[in-house]
Structure 1
Amino acid sequence: MTATAMPARDRASTSEAPSRGRAKPVLDGRRPPFEAALVYAFTIIPMLALVAAVPWAWGWGLSWLDVGLAAGFYLVSALGVTVGFHRYFTHRAFKANRGLRNALAIAGSLSLQGDVITWVADHRRHHAFADKEGDPHSPWLYGTGPVALAKGFFHAHLGWLFDRDRTNAARFAPDLLSDRDLARISRAFPLLTVASLLTPALLGGLITMSWWGALTALFWAGLVRVAVLHHVTWSINSICHMLGERPFEARSKATNFWPLAVVSMGESWHNLHHADPTCARHGAEPGQLDPSARVIRVFEKLGWAHEVRWPTTARMARLHEAARTTG
């Protein structure tokens, strides 16, 4: 645990960007019907493909090409979300040059989880109101009884996506709105969605020189890959606020849930993240795998990322001491 010391938790920089004068409202109207319909489509269609994956594999098989393409596109889009949308754009855990910044915004958009500005605004709002009224996807908003928790789990995992209310980006992500590159990439989200699904199909078709190769690549490396990543990401909102360990003191009920560590690229070490949101490494304890932090380290060594907020021994000791004092 070396390199740049991690500053004390700064709610203004990690949760909600400060605004001048009168505070802007949390919400910014409601999604228009067409946008709401797209949310349903981007959520439900990949999910149906995931349901169909087992009978498809049983009936027609699964080629190594499909596996390779799915794994490759999963890594790119997942790291775009974890390293890009989350640790960089939302929490500024490091600084990046223009090329890396734009590449991360594009890669995260390939996950079909919304454009970069909307994603960041929602997540900063989540930290500003973590597990309280105003949090867009807390599982604890309905109570603690069995029925309330079941309802809360569904809301945190999936249901919140269908809420028509829109987070006010001018309040929570003014820095991204003022970035012309990011504004263009955000507006290009529909095109990037098409590219995320059709690029695997194009590669599969060209490599096999067949329409069947294109179709299976579209299914596995397009739709199924998106659905798996969706549910892994949504599990951080649901499972990692309900089940697991809480070794550090945080303003939320965020937990560590180790079974998701690898597929979530280290995001499931969620308790430390809520205890210190600007930290570039979430799995900072011995034995905690954090692939996203490894990728950030590579970017740092290449000179593409700098001023990385790595955890230090002293900082971790203070977090442990805070946990012992409050526990």
Structure 2
Amino acid sequence: MITEPLVNPDKRQKTVTAPHLRVPQTIHFILFEVVPFLGFITAIVLLLFGIPMTWVDLGLFISLWFLTQIGFTVGWHRLFSHNAFKANVVVRVTLAILGSMAAPGPLLLAVAAHRRHHEYADQPGDPHSPHLFGEGVTDQIKGFWHAHDGWLATNREHPNTIHYVPDLLRDKALTTASRYYWLWVILGLVIPAILGGVLTNSWLGAFQGFLWGGLVRMFFVNNLINGVNSFCHVLGGRSFNTPDHSRNNLWLALPSLGEGWHNSHHAFPQSAIFGFDWWQVDIGGWVVLILEKLGLIWDVKIPKADTIKAKKAFLAARKAT
């Protein structure tokens, strides 16, 4: 991902090619994909050498994981990408900031890329489909890597934000939040370091807080987000015979707070709830319902049971013909 929204005045132009941005795109990939991975390796090595993960470290990891993952799934995905509900400016900005702390790229570009993904799901034009590289084993491995991480560094055609996110460009609060993306990412690393130092009254605690609540947490959340692009288009069950390759994954749905119900999401992209069956745990959806009860959001879109049943039958019949 690069760090500024790309705008071509021609709304009909869906992508923008900007060769001069290859360097910042690569820098972003190294800083927020490679460095968190190295942080994860460092944490494992420290554990092996007898420097444990303390209760403070665990608390920082869990709290920052939950907050940033909620920011992404409830804010960036359900609200900003799909307009699944409406929210006041405080909720919108809070969710934008929390999602930014996961470092998935600036808000406007990330949302534009996701809307383009739904437009061309698993077809040429999809920014991160694992199914566009051939049928051989090597091709499938290449496709999986592209979907999981590679596209963030190698995509040269970026979505034209004026085409894909004109609604967000009109939201001054969100455009401002997106403009300060780097600040939110840095705060996501600094805050756990400060809390770790204060709560343990030690420099080691500050380092451990930065490591576990910052880098390791960022590595974990990024791989949850990326895992939806890769695993959830390759492995899992299909409740709906959608024309793409989307899948549902329980094991990914739990830590991603509902994102793993990806096939259900592709069947009803504007739904604020991803888990339609009673056993499909969707913590992000539960947060949406809580916010609605508190009056902080409204116009929440959830398909009725008969609508879900009819859609399932329609997709099954279309595939059979």
Q: Same fold (TM over 0.5)?
A: yes
Partner SS state of residue 238, structure 1: helix
Is residue 2:98 matched to residue 1:107?
Answer: yes
Aligned-residue sequence identity (percent) comes to 37
Is residue 2:45 matched to residue 1:58?
Answer: no
Q: 1:204 to 1:21 in 2, by over 3 A?
A: closer
Shift of 1:58: 2.4
Shift of 1:164: 4.7
Q: 1:20 to 1:44 in 2, by over 3 A?
A: closer
Mapped to 1, the partners of 2:10 and 2:231 lie a distance apart of: 38
What's 1:193 paired with? 185
Residue type at the aligned position of 2:103: L
Matches within 5 A, 1:279-318: 279-318=271-310
**Which consecutive residues of structure 2, in runs of 5 or more, have no partner in the other structure?**
1-7
Mapped to 2, the partners of 1:232 and 1:145 lie a distance apart of: 26
Output one character per residue of 1:180-239: Cα deviation in whole Å (capped at 9) or x when no partner: 111111110111111010000001111111111100000000000000111111110000
Shift of 1:322: 1.7
**Whose RCO is larger (CA < 8 A, sep 6+)?**
1
What's 1:15 paired with? none
Mapped to 1, the partners of 2:212 and 2:81 lie a distance apart of: 30
Is residue 2:269 matched to residue 1:277?
Answer: yes
TM superposition score normalised by structure 2 = 0.93
Q: Which runs of 4+ in 1 moved over 6 A?
A: 19-22
User: Quick check: 1:258–1:269 contact (8 Å CA) kept in 2?
Assistant: yes
Matches within 5 A, 1:200-279: 200-279=192-271
User: Quick check: 1:118–1:169 contact (8 Å CA) kept in 2?
Assistant: yes
Mapped to 1, the partners of 2:140 and 2:221 lie a distance apart of: 24
Residue type at the aligned position of 2:160: N
Q: 1:246 to 1:196 in 2, by over 3 A?
A: same
What's 1:144 paired with? 135
Further displaced range: 158-167 or 280-289? 158-167
Mapped to 2, the partners of 1:179 and 1:134 lie a distance apart of: 27
Matches within 5 A, 1:117-128: 117-128=108-119
Mapped to 1, the partners of 2:286 and 2:112 lie a distance apart of: 26
Partner SS state of residue 102, structure 2: coil
Mapped to 2, the partners of 1:39 and 1:175 lie a distance apart of: 27
How many positions carry a matched residue from both structures? 309
Mapped to 2, the partners of 1:22 and 1:312 lie a distance apart of: 35
TM superposition score normalised by structure 1 = 0.91
2:149 to 158, 165, 178: 158
